[in-house]
């Protein structure tokens, strides 16, 4: 199947930041910039998902979130894609399988916040994800200890890189993961939705 994807070529290291981006905000952009620097990425793609299987309530329409993400991103190496909607995947493991088939030779790195690592063992086929691509974890407020003590961190402790090796993450074979502390921004999509700012902005 042919997909519309951002430019890439074999050998390139591309970070993948998945999520509903409901709404996208400066915190997403902040951790994206940090990931580019810390993990030796050539480019980074935001995978704006149709919906999060772990959340009961659906997000705002995909087109609205894609438009908001494109309006926000001002970095030449960060791209926005709705690949999951194109490939009709709902889980990360499915998405990775489809991406690897679609772009053979590209070295993908899955990115997540420390809060996601803390509950990563609840994700469908989470062990497969860890064994398929390297994983870069960026610390977020209040989740450092729980993330480092999480079931996933314990199971894959043997595959963890030290902080000084994180820039090599994209060149490592899975399983490999690295946890880095970054200057944090206490902002979240949940807070923006609850404040009404996202609803107000999308109604204009």
Residue 56 has a pLDDT of: 62
Residues of the chain with pLDDT > 70, as a percent, come to: 84
Residue 145 has a pLDDT of: 75
Note the residue count of the chain.
204
* Mean pLDDT, rounded, for 46-73: 85
The Cα 133–Cα 110 span in angstroms is 7
* Mean pLDDT, rounded, for 55-77: 88
Residue 69 has a pLDDT of: 95
The structure's pTM equals 0.86
pLDDT, tens only, 79-120: 999 999 999 998 999 999 999 999 999 999 999 988 889 999
Least confident of 10-24, 106-120, 138-152, 190-204: 190-204
Residue matched to tokens 């989740």: 143
The Cα 159–Cα 155 span in angstroms is 9
């Amino acid at each position: 199947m042919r997909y519309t994807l951002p430019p890439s070529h074999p050998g390139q290291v591309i970070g993948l930041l998945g999520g509903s981006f409901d709404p996208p905000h400066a915190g997403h952009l902040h951790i994206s910039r940090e990931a580019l620097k810390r993990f030796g990425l050539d480019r980074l793609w935001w995978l704006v998902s149709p919906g999060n299987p772990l959340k009961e309530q659906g997000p705002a329409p995909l087109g609205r979130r894609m438009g908001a993400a494109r309006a926000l991103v001002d970095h030449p190496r960060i791209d926005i894609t709705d690949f999951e909607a194109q490939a009709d995947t709902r889980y990360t493991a499915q998405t990775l399988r489809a991406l690897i088939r679609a772009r053979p030779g590209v070295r993908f790195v899955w990115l997540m916040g420390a809060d996601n690592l803390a509950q990563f063992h609840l994700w469908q086929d989470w062990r497969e994800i860890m064994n398929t691509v390297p994983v870069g974890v960026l610390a977020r407020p209040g989740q450092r200890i729980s993330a480092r003590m999480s079931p996933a961190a314990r199971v894959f402790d043997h595959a963890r890189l030290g902080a000084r090796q994180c820039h090599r993450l994209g060149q490592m074979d899975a399983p490999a993961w690295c946890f880095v502390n970054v200057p944090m921004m206490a902002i979240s999509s949940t807070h923006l939705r609850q404040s009404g700012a996202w609803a107000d902005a999308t109604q204009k």
